[in-house]
Amino acid sequence: MWKRRIRSLIGLDVGTRSVKAVELTWNGGLVITGFGYAELPAPDAVRDTVARIFQENEFHTRRVVTAVSGKSVIVRYLTMFKMSPDDLRNAIRYEADKYIPFDVEEVVLDCQPFEAPGLADAGPNEMRVLLVACKRALVDEQLRVLASVGLQPEIVDVDVFALGNAFETTMAGSDGDRVRALVDVGAGKTCVNVVRGGVSLFTREIHAGGDAFTAAIGNRLGLKEAEAEQMKRRPGDQVERVRAAVTPAVDDLSTEVRLSFEYFENQFDRGVDEVLVSGGGSRLVGVPEDLGRVVDRPVATWDPTGDLPIAADRVDADALREHAPELAVAVGLASRLRKDA
């Protein structure tokens, strides 16, 4: 898509509660050469917060990859008759209203055939197709914000796929035959991406995350939102009370994750072997354990920055380590450098 001369790329993840920017540079291998993190003081502060990150931190480039997510984004895994890429694009355009609950004129569409060898293969004359549609207005708004702070958008991706790309990039040496569910618990949503051998087989966005845990603490312990947030992050000697307050909310979310796994298993006749959690919401004490109990599978946390080397002269390595669990999407976005370089 672009020429080799592009050596650095920034993954910019604008989440519900925080903005993360990770710059990767290709130098015979990937190196983390830039990093910025800031919480969003309010939902309408995206532009200022992004601008601040780029003022306060050093980056080599202004080229960014961002992502969309939420109810304006539709992801469908389809089975279609085998056809050429051109025919596929035409067919999808004609049939899009079958799969997308929006006016086709209002969306940006992308589709791509994919294979899942050994797992419930498509019939001999069929192929599996991944269809992604996003409301054009969401993409346009995002591009407008980026341009207004002097950034140059290269690609607009989807959060849940970036999660898979981060895993591919930093955990590439892991056993490719295992079916892994990547579960990124954010603030407003939780992304689930079931991957095997570098292929995403199933994705889902669940509309709950760390905000729901804060609300549960606030309700049960009678705290205002900011106090509940503090208590959640640093429960100190109140750990047991916090755990008791949030467990129902964590269980609700975990049940949704389990239902996703059941759907996947029905489709592919193959179970999820293990679960890897990331996202700020997963930092709450007890979340991986509660999730493991409900989905009845091994659950581990993982570091989306993996063992990527860090340019220590430009990057605050301590801050990067501190926020590592929240960086899966940003790393995945920036890692498009690896695919396209």
Q: Which positions touch Mg ion (CB under 5 A)?
A: 15, 186
CA distances from 86 to 92, 122, 125, 133 (A): 10, 20, 17, 18
- The nearest distance, CB 37 to ligand ATP, in angstroms, is 9
Q: What is the distance, to the nearest Å, from the Cα of residue 307 to the centroid of all Cα atoms in its chain? A: 19
Strand 63-68 versus strand 8-14 pairing type: parallel
From 131-139, 150-158, 228-236, 242-250, span contacting ligand ATP (CB under 6 A):
228-236
Q: Is 280 in the site for ligand ATP (CB under 6 A)?
A: yes
Q: Is 135 in the site for ligand ATP (CB under 6 A)?
A: no
**154/326 with CB nearer ligand ATP:** 326
By CB under 6 A, name the one of 7, 76, 220, 233 that touches ligand ATP.
Answer: 233
Q: Is 332 in the site for ligand ATP (CB under 6 A)?
A: no
Q: What length does the chain have?
A: 341
- The nearest distance, CB 233 to ligand ATP, in angstroms, is 4
- The nearest distance, CB 223 to ligand ATP, in angstroms, is 13
Residue 135 interacts with which of Mg ion, ligand ATP, none, CB < 5 to 8 Å by class: none
From 12-20, 252-260, 298-306, 330-338, span contacting ligand ATP (CB under 6 A):
12-20
Q: Is 229 in the site for ligand ATP (CB under 6 A)?
A: yes
Gap between the Cα atoms of 244 and 59, Å rounded = 43
Q: In the block, which residue shows the tokens 């669990």?
A: 325
Of residues 123, 100, 108, 259, the one with CA closest to residue 194: 259
Of residues 289, 111, 78, 116, the one with CA closest to residue 197: 116
Gap between the Cα atoms of 105 and 97, Å rounded = 10
**154/184 with CB nearer ligand ATP:** 184
Is the CB of residue 270 less than 8 Å from the CB of residue 120?
Answer: yes
Give, as ranges, the residues between 28 and 67 that touch ligand ATP (CB under 6 A). none
DSSP symbols for 220-275:
HHT--HHHHHHHHH--GGGHHHHHHHHHHHHHHHHHHHHHHHHHHHHHHS----EE
Amino acid 157 reads D
The pair of three-digit structure tokens given for residue 311, joined into one six-digit string = 């340019």
Q: Is 301 in the site for ligand ATP (CB under 6 A)?
A: no
Q: Is 288 in the site for ligand ATP (CB under 6 A)?
A: no
Residue 168 interacts with which of Mg ion, ligand ATP, none, CB < 5 to 8 Å by class: none
Q: Is 326 in the site for ligand ATP (CB under 6 A)?
A: yes
Q: In the block, which residue shows the tokens 């179970």?
A: 271
**129/192 with CB nearer Mg ion:** 192
Is the CB of residue 281 less than 8 Å from the CB of residue 213?
Answer: yes
Q: How many residues bind ligand ATP (CB under 6 A)?
A: 21
Give, as ranges, the residues between 161 and 220 that touch ligand ATP (CB under 6 A). 186-189, 209-211, 214
Residue 211 interacts with which of ligand ATP, Mg ion, none, CB < 5 to 8 Å by class: ligand ATP
Q: Is 304 in the site for ligand ATP (CB under 6 A)?
A: no
Is the CB of residue 193 less than 8 Å from the CB of residue 304?
Answer: no
By CB under 6 A, name the one of 9, 11, 15, 290 that touches ligand ATP.
Answer: 15
Per CB under 6 A, residues contacting ligand ATP are: 15-18, 186-189, 209-211, 214, 229, 232-233, 279-281, 283-284, 326
